[in-house]
């Protein structure tokens, strides 16, 4: 169950010294020629590795991904870009690839320069450690405040999709800090991977929130090498699409469940909106509302906060459409509002999570989101992040 589950992929994770202990430098590589794609953060304050990886994708098909934890290499100026380029160049040398075939990803403290004196020597060790069983080490090496590694696999009729991700805080992707690498031995032609990836990301990584913070480094990479030998058809393309979406959804769900300080999750479903974009705006607003999230932490079924958030969802210079007299809201499987009328019931929020189902009854728009609660520990973890 790892990023090397698909045929023709190897990975490694080594300790470069960027963190006090544990692996902190990972490589994922296709051993046969691959095609690939990536989606990046929409944050205007983009990290140096995002800038460099975008450049490389314009020039070549990616064959390997280098990821470090301990430093985001963001807000580091021109020197940060030079450091990212140096990392890619050394990785290309030890892997015998063109520098443009290397993507570089970083995660950690913003504003902290990448320690090249530690990264560059460790790249050879990481390259020498590459193996088909190295996926677990790679997944461990990319973590920051995560409490555990995040991996997922889905199998098709004759192919495999595998992936790893990291993310726990600063999670509100707008393509969480969030990084993901997904690999497959399904055959894809140049430029095809992007469309498959975009669709999968929109309904998974782009539909989650832990704290409403859009990272400077968010990146999702897809590598496809065709090593399975699968003969493509409309049916196999559909099966691959399903598997890719399943892996992305699994990894995204693991990120939310492992949100910094998280004790409870909520699956938000909005239907009956004036349009899909408005439904998405409303689902996003509920998912990021501090009042909703703190109520979830207290296991308080304060459904009025859900409706207040829904009615104040920014959209197109104003708020998304909502008719108070038409809304129906189910919380934790209990109908608390029906056609605008409160039902005088009190749901119990128990276990690890609940559902929030909102029907606006004014159109055909729908969307979903996954969020976590906001706890005391979230504040503590982020207050102590650099200490």
Q: Please identify every residue annotated as catalytic.
A: 177
CA pair distance 101, 352, nearest whole angstrom: 42
CA pair distance 186, 188, nearest whole angstrom: 6
Query: Cβ–Cβ contacts within 10 Å for residue 103, how many?
Result: 27
Residue 295 CB partners (closer than 8 Å, separation 6+): 301, 302, 305
Nearest alpha carbon to residue 46 among 73, 7, 6, 18? 73
Query: Cβ–Cβ contacts within 10 Å for residue 348, how many?
Result: 12
User: 52-66 in b/e burial notation, b at 16+ Cβ within 10 A?
Assistant: bbeebbeeebbbbbb
The label of the residue with tokens 């023709």 reads 8
Q: Which tokens sit at 352?
A: 């690890």
Residue 358 CB partners (closer than 8 Å, separation 6+): 268, 269, 270, 271, 282, 286, 306, 310, 327, 328, 329, 330
CA pair distance 269, 212, nearest whole angstrom: 18
The label of the residue with tokens 């991700």 reads 165
Nearest alpha carbon to residue 50 among 216, 248, 223, 200? 216
Nearest alpha carbon to residue 47 among 70, 81, 85, 79? 81
Classify strands 341-342 and 353-359 as parallel, antiparallel or unpaired.
unpaired
Q: Which residues pair with 104 in a beta bridge?
A: 66
At CA 278, angle to CA 272 and CA 281, rounded to 5?
A: 120
Classify strands 334-338 and 328-331 as parallel, antiparallel or unpaired.
antiparallel
User: 293-314 in b/e burial notation, b at 16+ Cβ within 10 A?
Assistant: bbbbbeeebebebbbebbbebe
């Amino acid at each position: 169950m790892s990023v090397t589950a698909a045929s023709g992929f190897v990975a490694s994770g080594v300790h470069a010294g960027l963190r006090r202990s544990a692996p902190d430098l990972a490589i994922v590589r296709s051993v046969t020629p691959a095609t690939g794609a990536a989606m990046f953060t929409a944050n205007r304050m983009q990290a140096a590795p995002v800038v460099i990886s975008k450049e490389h994708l314009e020039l070549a098909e990616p064959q390997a991904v280098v990821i470090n934890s301990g430093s985001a290499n963001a807000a580091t100026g021109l020197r940060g870009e030079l450091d990212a380029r140096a990392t890619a160049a050394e990785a290309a040398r030890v892997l015998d690839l063109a520098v443009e075939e290397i993507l570089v990803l970083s995660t950690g403290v913003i504003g902290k320069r990448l320690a090249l004196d530690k990264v560059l020597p460790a790249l050879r060790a990481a390259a020498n450690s590459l193996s088909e069983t190295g996926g677990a080490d790679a997944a461990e090496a990319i973590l920051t405040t995560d409490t555990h590694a995040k991996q997922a696999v889905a199998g098709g009729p004759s192919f495999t999709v595998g992936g790893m991700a990291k993310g726990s805080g600063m999670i509100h992707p707008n393509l969480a800090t969030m990084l993901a690498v997904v690999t497959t031995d399904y055959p894809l032609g140049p430029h095809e991977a992007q469309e498959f990836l975009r669709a999968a990301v929109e309904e998974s990584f782009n539909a989650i929130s832990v704290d409403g913070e859009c990272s400077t480094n968010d990146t999702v990479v897809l590598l496809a090498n065709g090593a399975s030998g699968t003969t493509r058809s409309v049916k196999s393309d559909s099966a691959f699409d399903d598997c890719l979406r399943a892996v992305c959804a699994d990894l995204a769900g693991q990120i939310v469940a492992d949100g910094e300080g998280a004790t409870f999750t909520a699956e938000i479903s909005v239907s009956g909106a004036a349009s899909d974009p408005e439904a998405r705006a409303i689902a996003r607003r509920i998912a990021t509302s501090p009042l909703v999230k703190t109520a979830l932490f207290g296991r308080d079924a304060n459904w009025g906060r859900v409706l207040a958030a829904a009615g104040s969802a920014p959209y197109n210079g104003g708020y998304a459409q909502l008719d108070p007299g038409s809304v129906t809201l189910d919380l934790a499987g209990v109908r608390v509002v029906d056609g605008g009328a409160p039902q005088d019931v009190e749901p119990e929020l128990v276990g690890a999570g609940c559902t929030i189902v909102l029907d606006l009854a004014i159109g055909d728009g729908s969307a979903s989101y996954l969020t976590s609660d906001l706890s005391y520990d979230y504040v503590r973890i982020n207050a102590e992040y650099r200490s």
